[in-house]
Structure 1
Amino acid sequence: MKPRYLILGLIALLGLAPLVLAPYYVTLLNYIGLYALVVLGLVLLTGVGGMTSFGQAAFVGLGAYTTAWLTTAEQLPTWLQWASASPWLTLLVGVALTVTVALMLGALTLRLSGHYLPLGTIAWGLSLYYLFGTLEPLGGHTGVGGLPAISLGGISLDQGEKMFYLIWLVLGAAMLITHNLLDSREGRAIRALKGGQLMAESMGVNTFRSKMVIFVIAALFAAVSGWLYAHTQRFVNPTPFGLGMGIDYLFMALIGGVASIWGALLGAGILTVLKEWLQDWLPHLLGDGGNYETIVFGILIVLLMHCAPGGLTPWLGKWFKGRTRTAPLPQAQALPRRAAVEHGTRILQANQVTKRYGGLVANNQMNLHIDAGEILALIGPNGAGKSTLFNLLSGVDRPTSGDIHFKGLPLNGKTSRHVARLGMSRTFQHVKLLPGMSVLENAALGAHLRGHQGVIAASLNLDRAEEQQLLAEARYQLERVGLGDALQEDAASLALGQQRILEIARALCADPCLLLLDEPAAGLRLQEKQALTALLKRLRAEGMAILLVEHDMDFVMGLVDRVVVMEFGQPIAQGLPEEVQNNPAVLEAYLGGADA
């Protein structure tokens, strides 16, 4: 079955549901919609962004309590009295408050890593939960009742059957916004957060900004769910906003598929229905003397994690896939290119660069320069400090002492993102690609800095013209390196040699004037090496400067203009390839002796 037919069928069923189902089932569907909206934020935050949060229930409470207080308080501050006129106005206040709180909490917790991040979300989640139950204006643990119904087009949505359509319309809009966002330049940056932050920063992505974006979006989805919940129940107390519910939201995401938009809906539906069934049937089977439903539910979750660790959506997806057709990319206007640098112009100058890690000296007073239209090879035995120098030049790491200038500008203290913006692009010794993304999307990430449309434009699908330009640039560079027939393949399915070529295409998408290649020929066959040699020579003829680290001497000596040889973190020889090949110090270091 094709996905679009499944979506149309689901919309039709939802449209008929309140007309044919009993109120109990409509209420159940309302809860599923409200929960799915919160879980959708976790799909972005945890499944896509790789940041586990136990605190989403607290943001639900923030949206619910904001509207509860504004619509029921007997006396409001003068500057807030306008908001009490309508629940729609309280939604605006709730959104503004949620963004403010999310920005503050994000600034405190998103720089944490490992187990400290989820522990941080537990801390502020509990703090907000106890705040809701402590503040007297919010009714304490008794709660706040008497909330007004939402009115839409003159119709009062004072019953669950009437709220049904609003809840599912909001959920549908949120799913569409999430889909649009992930299918964009900003979405590629967000998807790079999980396992590719170092690479993404080197491609010009502000990874902390991307983390903050999805953290705020997830908080907003939760707050809107809380607003809808408050006016559906017409009553609010702290119970649904505690840590236990935050854990349930994560379970919903895991059940459905933590990285899937549809998994949010599937997981919310399965967990909600399963809990209802267990609570109804287990007391009849086992008696009502204990919380057997919690025990059975926990066992089922563990079994599911073993059988379908990616959730149910990927497992079910194979049944609903239609034939995949690769549509040709529409023609797009070429992206503007960087002004060419005149041949022979000094591009990079490193003076007395030293890097120490405690007592270990990885680079010791390294001097290096490269000009436009030149290919320079950096060679040496394993452990000589070549990759460390690459990291220093590209801003991934900072030198202990010494100066680096790129295009006449000092790089000391600059981030890899800033260096990329200046026109330096790189590959990595250990291939850094994003599995699950296509070859085309991986390459397009390199063009991130050449786009300008932001999150709002991406969410509303207003960035399509620029997106086509970025994808057209990625296709051009992939065809240039010989991967034009693999555009829609999963990058992880490529052979190692092809993955290295893909990294070069991604680096070229940034339109650099200096290209750093870390062992580009490793894993390539003879024909692929010959094609790579031809490509690098064309780039040199266009005025690009290329600095490469390589162990394949046949590849290096037939390609480069100059060679710098390193040993123990410092240069021992440099010059023309022929000169370096016959240098006794090089033979001793590289081959184990001049007679070898």
Structure 2
Amino acid sequence: FAFALAGAVGSLAGVTSTPLVFVTYQSGLLLTVYGFIAAAFGGMRSIPGAVAGGLLVGVLESLMAYYGDSALKTPMAFGLLVVILVYRAAREQSGVGWLPSLRSNRAGGALTALPRATPLSRRQQLATSRARIIAVTGVLVLAFLGPLVFTPYWVSLWCFIGVFVIVGIGLDLLLGYTGQLSLGQTTFMGVSAYAVALAIRWWDVPAWLAAAFAIAFTSALAACLGGIVLRLRGYYFTFATLAIAIAAEAMANGMPGQLGGPSGIRVRATLSIAGFELDSPGRLFTATWLVVALTLIVALRLTNSRFGQAMKVVGTDEDLAAAAAVTPFAVKLRVFVLSAAMASVGGVLYAHILMFVSPHSLGLVGGFDAIVGLLLGGFGTVWGALVGIPIIRLLPELISRLDTYEEFVQGLLVVGLVIALPDGVVGAGQRAARRLAALRTGRGSTEQAGISPVFSSNESDSDQLVVPAAALTATGVTKRFGGLLALEDVGLAVAPGAIVGLIGPNGAGKSTCLGVLAGAIRPDDGRISLAGVDVTSTPADARARAGVVRTFQLPHTPPGMTALEVAMLGASRRGRSGPIRAVVGSSAHERAGIKAAAMDALELVGIADRQGHQAAALSTGEQKMLELARALAAAPSVLLADEPAGGLFDDEIERLATVLVRVAAGGVAIVLVEHHMDLVMGVCDEIVVLNEGRVIAVGGPAEVRSNKEVLDAYLGA
């Protein structure tokens, strides 16, 4: 009903506005965006606020048209949208802002060294990468043979396809891996193309220098815009990037003196690289597809690295990412800039293929084509753009004889392909390959899940985790949620090698207290210190890097990840390599060490035999133990365990108790939130009891068990 009502109101808006404006095929999109601006002003929940927002936008546009340049009224309106969205995000999100998030990515305590492990041999690496090597080789063959095989028309068409494949690969890193749907990535391509043309026109510099300037300028612009819009989430972020795309095109159209207006501007010099002049369609074809191959290699190396693992977890579960010592904002910003840099390279090629740049290159059409192409090819595969974008670009050529029905038939074909292949062409192929591998090797094997055999560690005792000592202390912690007092003057201290239980009835504030200790929740008052250092304002990801690692009450199992890969998330805290080293260096030994540490943790909790199984398909008890394995793989100095015994059978609880005692014996300070009293009384050195947000008792198991207030509030007679 709500959808139908919104459609009726939208149709009324269309009928009302038609006599007042010139109607085009984009009118509905623009009305939708303006409506979103008004609704965002009203907080998305207030009709009077939306009305006020619409009036404000109309008044501001009228003032801009009267006193300023009417061509800038659309960029002004969409700039207002971004400001409103960011302001609302700043009010709604608790905790630190984006600058501390960036700084926290560099924070961290001393790391326990990874276990020594032997990486795959060169022959094994080639065997596991055979399909990727064949595909990249195919692109290289196309780069050199294409101009000899294709007619001039098809050479030109495939040049443009190559440009959008480059943009699409960058978009796949942003959308398919970090989960950020941006409609403005082709805008960065257009900005780069304009920068090339303007640098040559204004400064009369060589084309290669103009290209370098364009890539650097576009990347810097992306860093600035990303620092703003990445504070938004979900459709707020998507609409903000849409607003940027529409505003950029409107600005280029409205500035004929500076940017050429609707007529655009010419590129006055051909590009020359190391003496190789790109002065013919054939040479441009070769250069474009060589860049496609290079972009594929960069994306493949990045996604198969420690940083690529961080990208995947950020895209599926930011809370888990922070618990695994990953800073979600920093990862998203780096990928956003990298994606824009790839688009800027495509923009340089685009400018020299056309030798002309117009506002159309800044708009939405290319962005939608890239997204639909990725949808057809498959998100989060790297190969999706290489497969899907040619389909989108070649479909019009295949159905061009249908004349007026061409776009209608193209739309039906795209919808049909998406319905038939929901995971995309590449996703369907990968799924078929996994099924074939399962038939060959047998279900449940390590190879079934695509995981290499685990590397052997040289540690003499994998059950013993040696970690640096630290102590966690909370003093006078108070936390309110609106009018609800969740914690009041709570204090506890846990020493290295000690297990402190945190118990109480449901709603007592245990999970809130654990969130405060982990850095996921900022207290209103009080102090949290780690080894004597105040970490009260330190966010969760930085505390995890300093050694404060948590498990979750409800297991966090990212889709598509095996048990070994989830455990590796924890061990990756102990690595050092970043995105640059992943692309241009070698991190094979570090990755082997991360796998070995993860396997040690799986063996410690007793689920090593499940390493190759999908984490989401494990039983509740196995997922609970996997949560613990992920935390232990990080070699924590402080372990915050949130109801790890929930859903476990008696034998599993006995195993859990043994693991906790053994880990504590290695010097780890443990805070255990738990309802299973036999476990708590059996392993804890001290117990803190909460009730209605206040500490009502502190002492040893026997003392707490006999406390009358505890008996009345929680334990019973």
TM-score of the superposed pair, with normalisation by structure 2: 0.75
Q: Who is 1:357 aligned against? A: 481
Letter in 1 for 2:362: F
1:507-555 deviations in whole A, cap 9, x for unaligned? 1222222111001111222222222211111112122111111112222
Deviation, 1:102, is: 0.5
Against the structure 1 CA distance between its residues 15 and 493, is the aligned structure 2 distance closer, same or farther, given a 3 Å change threshold?
Answer: farther
Q: Is the 8 A contact 1:147 1:230 kept in 2?
A: no
Q: Who is 2:296 aligned against? A: 175
Against the structure 1 CA distance between its residues 30 and 320, is the aligned structure 2 distance closer, same or farther, given a 3 Å change threshold?
Answer: farther
The match for 2:627 among 500, 503, 506 is 503
The match for 1:49 among 178, 203, 219 is 178
Separation (CA, whole Å) in 2 of partners of 1:182 and 1:2: 16
Q: Who is 1:151 aligned against? A: 272
1:405-426 deviations in whole A, cap 9, x for unaligned? 2211222222112322332111
Q: Who is 1:38 aligned against? A: 167
Q: Who is 1:184 aligned against? A: 305
Q: Who is 2:395 aligned against? A: 274
- RMSD of equivalent CA atoms: 2.5
Q: Does 1:221 align with 2:334?
A: no
Deviation, 1:400, is: 1.7
Separation (CA, whole Å) in 2 of partners of 1:333 and 1:232: 56
Letter in 1 for 2:357: V
Q: Does 1:118 align with 2:242?
A: no
SS in 2 for 1:554: helix
Deviation, 1:449, is: 3.5
SS in 2 for 1:204: coil
Deviation, 1:9, is: 5.1
The match for 1:102 among 195, 208, 222 is 222
Identity of aligned residues (%): 38
Deviation, 1:171, is: 0.8
Against the structure 1 CA distance between its residues 340 and 109, is the aligned structure 2 distance closer, same or farther, given a 3 Å change threshold?
Answer: closer
Q: Who is 2:453 aligned against? A: 328
Q: Who is 2:428 aligned against? A: 315
Deviation, 1:245, is: 2.2
Q: Is the 8 A contact 1:69 1:137 kept in 2?
A: no
Letter in 2 for 1:293: E
Judge which range, 357-366 or 152-161, deviates more.
152-161
1:430-489 deviations in whole A, cap 9, x for unaligned? 212322223222222223432222211112243333222222222222222223223333
Judge which range, 239-248 or 93-102, deviates more.
239-248
Deviation, 1:4, is: 4.9
Separation (CA, whole Å) in 1 of partners of 2:546 and 2:275: 56
Q: Is the 8 A contact 1:2 1:320 kept in 2?
A: no
Residue pairs, 1:440-519, within 5 angstroms? 440-519=564-643
Q: Is the 8 A contact 1:333 1:469 kept in 2?
A: no
Separation (CA, whole Å) in 2 of partners of 1:173 and 1:569: 57
SS in 2 for 1:548: strand
Residue pairs, 1:252-291, within 5 angstroms? 252-278=373-399, 280-283=400-403, 288=404
Deviation, 1:2, is: 7.1
1:182-238 deviations in whole A, cap 9, x for unaligned? 111211211122231122123221211111111101111111111111112222222
SS in 2 for 1:89: helix
Judge which range, 102-111 or 484-493, deviates more.
484-493
Against the structure 1 CA distance between its residues 261 and 4, is the aligned structure 2 distance closer, same or farther, given a 3 Å change threshold?
Answer: closer
Normalized per residue, which structure has more helix? 2
Letter in 2 for 1:199: L
Residue pairs, 1:377-388, within 5 angstroms? 377-388=501-512
Q: Does 1:59 align with 2:188?
A: yes
Q: Who is 1:587 aligned against? A: 711
Deviation, 1:98, is: 0.9
Separation (CA, whole Å) in 1 of partners of 2:475 and 2:433: 59
Deviation, 1:109, is: 0.5
Deviation, 1:330, is: 4.8
Q: Who is 2:412 aligned against? A: 299
Against the structure 1 CA distance between its residues 331 and 94, is the aligned structure 2 distance closer, same or farther, given a 3 Å change threshold?
Answer: farther
Separation (CA, whole Å) in 1 of partners of 2:678 and 2:246: 62
Separation (CA, whole Å) in 2 of partners of 1:156 and 1:407: 62
Separation (CA, whole Å) in 1 of partners of 2:601 and 2:188: 44
Q: Is the 8 A contact 1:562 1:574 kept in 2?
A: yes
TM-score of the superposed pair, with normalisation by structure 1: 0.89
The match for 1:391 among 510, 515, 528 is 515
Q: Who is 2:120 aligned against? A: none
Q: Is the 8 A contact 1:3 1:320 kept in 2?
A: no
Against the structure 1 CA distance between its residues 340 and 162, is the aligned structure 2 distance closer, same or farther, given a 3 Å change threshold?
Answer: closer
Deviation, 1:397, is: 0.7
Q: Is the 8 A contact 1:149 1:232 kept in 2?
A: no
SS in 2 for 1:194: helix
1:322-352 deviations in whole A, cap 9, x for unaligned? 74465334567889x98643xxx8x222222
Letter in 2 for 1:166: A
Against the structure 1 CA distance between its residues 203 and 587, is the aligned structure 2 distance closer, same or farther, given a 3 Å change threshold?
Answer: same
Deviation, 1:43, is: 0.6
1:217-263 deviations in whole A, cap 9, x for unaligned? 11111111111111122222222321222222211121211222111
Separation (CA, whole Å) in 2 of partners of 1:45 and 1:367: 42
Judge which range, 486-495 or 269-278, deviates more.
486-495
Deviation, 1:281, is: 2.2
Q: Is the 8 A contact 2:561 2:614 kept in 1?
A: yes
Separation (CA, whole Å) in 1 of partners of 2:417 and 2:714: 54
Q: Is the 8 A contact 2:192 2:215 kept in 1?
A: yes
The match for 1:570 among 685, 689, 694 is 694
Q: Who is 1:555 aligned against? A: 679
Against the structure 1 CA distance between its residues 227 and 416, is the aligned structure 2 distance closer, same or farther, given a 3 Å change threshold?
Answer: same
Q: Give the length in aligned residue pairs.
A: 571
Structure 1, unaligned runs of 5 or more: none
Deviation, 1:390, is: 0.2
Separation (CA, whole Å) in 1 of partners of 2:666 and 2:455: 27
Judge which range, 211-220 or 179-188, deviates more.
179-188
Q: Who is 2:549 aligned against? A: 425
Q: Is the 8 A contact 2:466 2:667 kept in 1?
A: no
Separation (CA, whole Å) in 2 of partners of 1:576 and 1:339: 26
Separation (CA, whole Å) in 2 of partners of 1:22 and 1:242: 29
Q: Who is 1:231 aligned against? A: 352
Q: Who is 1:197 aligned against? A: 318
The match for 1:206 among 315, 327, 330 is 327
Separation (CA, whole Å) in 2 of partners of 1:327 and 1:451: 19
